[in-house]
A and B are shown apart, each in its own frame.
Chain A
Amino acid sequence: MGTIKHHLNDALLMAYSAGALPEAFDLVVATHISLCDECRARLEAFDTLGGVVLEACAEVSMSDTSLEATLALIAAQDTGSEIIAEPAKASTGIFPKPLQDYVGGDLDAVNWKALGGGVRQAVLPTTRDASVRLLHIPAGMKMPDHGHHGTELTLVLQGAFEDEDGYFARGDVEIADEDMNHTPVAAEGEDCICLAATDARLRFNRLLPRMAQPFMGI
């Protein structure tokens, strides 16, 4: 904590709070927040706004038996054993818990596919309005120039990369829009592992050159 320099923006945090993001983006946001208390506090401020909106909602009448039905539901869910939630433990490994839930474990559980040049990726299952993948880029490797369609979020989990926008290390997230062309280079030392989400699928019908495709495999 405390060393993260590149954060989520307000629009993404508000959209996550409102439940308006594609699942792929939700995963990157939830993973970043697991590593970043600053963005967690900003998110919870937007949640506070959600609570204020809820409180201001004009009431809609409940069905006559609503309370009884809810108490019955509570009784049915009550297994008899007192639910004492274990104090949450910080996840071990390099993947925060939301990401582990999608991978089915930590780094050693990833089902990598080679993309050539030592680069590997693993696409994670989400709804199809956007996609999210883990990328493994060998240390020191220069990635080809690539443009963007739509928005791309790239969160570093191990190692680092550098491009025109700065130096991105564990916990840092880069937000790239479609005007951006960048040339990321993985830092020397440790191989770079990132979680990258894009809603580029939504833009497929546009007649733009798809420079990203050969590299990203989107």
Chain B
Amino acid sequence: MLTSKQPVQETDALGGAIAYRKRAINSESLGTNGMQAVTAMKEDTWVGHLRRIHEDRDQSAFAELFQHFAPRVKAFLMKSGANETLAEECTQEVMATLWRKAQMFDPTRASVATWIFTIARNRKVDMLRKQRRPEPEDLPWGPEAEPDQADVVMLRQETARLSEALAQLPQKQRDLVEKAYFGDLSHSEIAAETGLPLGTIKSRIRLALEKLRHDMK
């Protein structure tokens, strides 16, 4: 259970991320659900690490992100059909891209896992499907715009809820969702009706996009 009174425990120097992290926790309403709170804490650490990579080129922050995400990216690529050697090589490239693009990460629109997924997915399309991946035009973004922490926390909660909802789906349905993302289903086989709470996340992201458009005017 998190309250605004609880001190933020730093076992390692989070540098500039400390203030960032405190703000996120103080903006409260993380919910009383313990698992969601833990997920939110962890996510806060990852976001702080991305900042340290971007601002301080911090290799120890990178090493921690690597330790958590690289084995998952590799698993994702192997489930998508890459052999071990290729998956290892691609994972290293994905993690190097994370370093290079750390400042592009927007916590009001994505979790760190989501952002890494999009990098891995693009690499997969390129490497395994041997095709270019046209991406939507980037949105205009301003210099160092400070994300609204309330928005960040809300998206984080919705993402944690989605994660639980996926875990609670009947096995058969969960398999279908995972198969879609591992590329085991052709586009005509993908049934988008997942029964998962995606609508609330969409609404959050939609608001973040509106703010972004407004700020850029």
Contact A57 B143 (CB under 8 A): no
Bound form: Cα–Cα A151–B216 in Å: 37
What residues on A are CB-neighbors of B191 within 8 Å?
11
Q: Chain A: which residue is nearest B202 at the CB level?
A: A45
Q: Is A21 an interface residue (CB 8 A)?
A: yes
Interface of A is mostly: helix
Contact of B70 among A66, A83, A85 (CB under 8 A): A66
In the complex with contacts A51-B111, A77-B100, A26-B78 CB distance below 8 A: no
Interface residues on A, range: 35 or more
User: What's the nearest-Cβ distance from chain A to residue B28, in Å?
Assistant: 23
In the complex with contacts A88-B141, A89-B140, A102-B134, A13-B192 CB distance below 8 A: yes
Chain A stretch 37-69: residues in CB contact (< 8 A) with chain B: 37-38, 40-63, 66-67, 69
Contact B92 A66 (CB under 8 A): yes
User: What's the nearest-Cβ distance from chain B to residue A40, in Å?
Assistant: 6
Q: Is B12 an interface residue (CB 8 A)?
A: no
Contact of B78 among A17, A53, A60 (CB under 8 A): A60
Chain B stretch 54-82: residues in CB contact (< 8 A) with chain A: 59, 62-63, 66-67, 70-76, 78-79
Surface stretch bound by A, among B19-27, B120-128, B146-154: B120-128
Q: Is B104 an interface residue (CB 8 A)?
A: yes
Surface stretch bound by A, among B2-10, B30-38, B182-190: B182-190
Q: Is B96 an interface residue (CB 8 A)?
A: yes
Bound form: Cα–Cα A96–B138 in Å: 10
Contact B99 A51 (CB under 8 A): no
Q: Is A23 an interface residue (CB 8 A)?
A: yes
Contact A49 B194 (CB under 8 A): yes
Contact A19 B117 (CB under 8 A): no
User: What's the nearest-Cβ distance from chain A to residue B110, in Å?
Assistant: 7
Contact B76 A57 (CB under 8 A): yes
Q: Chain B: which residue is nearest A37 at the CB level?
A: B209
Bound form: Cα–Cα A34–B73 in Å: 27
What residues on A are CB-neighbors of B187 within 8 Å?
11-12, 15, 20-22, 25
Contact B114 A50 (CB under 8 A): yes
Q: Is A133 an interface residue (CB 8 A)?
A: no
Number of A-B contacts (CB under 8 A): 225
User: What's the nearest-Cβ distance from chain B to residue A199, in Å?
Assistant: 8
Contact B198 A46 (CB under 8 A): yes
Bound form: Cα–Cα A50–B111 in Å: 11
Bound form: Cα–Cα A117–B159 in Å: 53
What residues on A are CB-neighbors of B72 within 8 Å?
54-55, 57, 59
In the complex with contacts A15-B187, A18-B181, A26-B134, A54-B76 CB distance below 8 A: yes
What residues on A are CB-neighbors of B210 within 8 Å?
37
Contact B166 A52 (CB under 8 A): yes
Contact A19 B206 (CB under 8 A): no
User: What's the nearest-Cβ distance from chain A to residue B178, in Å?
Assistant: 6
Q: Is A181 an interface residue (CB 8 A)?
A: no
Contact B166 A33 (CB under 8 A): no
In the complex with contacts A11-B192, A47-B110, A127-B130, A54-B120 CB distance below 8 A: yes
What residues on B are CB-neighbors of A48 within 8 Å?
110-111, 114, 159, 162, 198, 201
Contact of A51 among B59, B113, B177, B182 (CB under 8 A): B113
Q: Is A10 an interface residue (CB 8 A)?
A: yes
Identify the A interface with B (CB < 8 A).
1, 9-15, 17-23, 25-27, 29-31, 33-34, 37-38, 40-63, 66-67, 69-71, 73-74, 77, 83, 85, 87-91, 96-99, 101-102, 126-127, 151
Pairs A–B under 8 Å by Cβ, sample size 30: A11-B192, A13-B192, A15-B190, A18-B180, A18-B185, A20-B186, A21-B187, A30-B136, A41-B203, A43-B136, A44-B201, A47-B114, A47-B117, A48-B162, A48-B198, A49-B162, A51-B111, A51-B117, A53-B166, A53-B177, A54-B116, A59-B72, A60-B75, A60-B87, A66-B91, A67-B70, A74-B100, A99-B134, A101-B134, A151-B188
The 6 closest A-B pairs by CB, nearest first: A51-B114, A10-B192, A59-B71, A88-B138, A34-B137, A51-B113
